[in-house]
Chain A
Amino acid sequence: GAGVSQSPRYKVTKRGQDVALRCDPISGHVSLYWYRQALGQGPEFLTYFNYEAQQDKSGLPNDRFSAERPEGSISTLTIQRTEQRDSAMYRCASSLGASGGIYEQYFGPGTRLTVT
């Protein structure tokens, strides 16, 4: 079956513009996670959903970042008024269940965001 997909794969935007990054998880996966990954670093947790409910958004850097998963499947991470420091790889992952982190996560290919 299909894995986790993300679009766009690359996004170049000018400072001050809003961007929307999309994640399509593996069908049937309950949990969906967003991470930000700086070059050469491990993923940094941003937020996650169980079904359509956002369970934890403590990792979102500030209120310019928001995420939604309205129907419990596809999710969108939105960054408003982008700044150069937002430039990074944004990765989405999904997992089968939502039991405290005991399920392995399947990662998407990421969206490379560059803010000029």
Chain B
Amino acid sequence: ILNVEQSPQSLHVQEGDSTNFTCSFPSSNFYALHWYRWETAKSPEALFVMTLNGDEKKKGRISATLNTKEGYSYLYIKGSQPEDSATYLCASSTGANNLFFGTGTRLTVIP
């Protein structure tokens, strides 16, 4: 079992603000890092999968970076909108296909 930690647990931001949150994972035996967006009453949806140290991925106003040597990933949201309100989950893999998820960061964007 991998210990994947996310911080903060929850976050409130004003519409238009930019924000970021952190996922920490064991750097030993690292293989892949996933970010998922999870809206209440829906299924988690994949945002990014990253494997290489220094990877940066972007989808619209959302981007993510990966540091495998120190075991962390940041998710950034630029110009937050109310529709960005969701729980953002990260998950790490050691190469055995199973993912270990963190408990998520619950983002609320206030109009």
A101 B103 Cβ-Cβ under 8 A: no
Is B89 an interface residue, CB under 8 A from the partner?
A: yes
Q: What are 23 inter-chain pairs, A to B, with CB distance below 8 A?
A: A4-B43, A35-B101, A41-B103, A42-B101, A43-B44, A44-B101, A56-B98, A58-B98, A98-B97, A100-B32, A100-B97, A101-B32, A101-B94, A101-B99, A102-B49, A102-B51, A104-B34, A104-B49, A105-B34, A105-B46, A107-B44, A108-B43, A110-B43
The number of inter-chain residue pairs (CB within 8 angstroms) is: 75
Q: Is A33 an interface residue (CB 8 A)?
A: yes
**Range class of the A interface residue count:** 20 to 34
- Select the residue from A4, A101, A103 with max chain B CB neighbours within 10 A: A101
Tell me which residues from 38 to 84 in chain A have a Cβ below 8 Å from any Cβ of chain B. Answer: 40-45, 48, 50, 55-56, 58-59
- Complex CA–CA separation, A33 to B44 (angstroms): 14
Chain B contact patch, size range? 20 to 34
The residue in A4, A31, A42, A91 that gathers the most chain B C-beta atoms within 10 A of its C-beta is A42
Chain A residues near B95 (CB-CB < 8 A):
100-101
A91–B98 touching, CB < 8 Å: no
CB within 8 Å of A: which B20-44 residues: 31-32, 34, 36, 42-44
Once the chains bind, are B104 and A42 in contact (CB under 8 Å)? yes
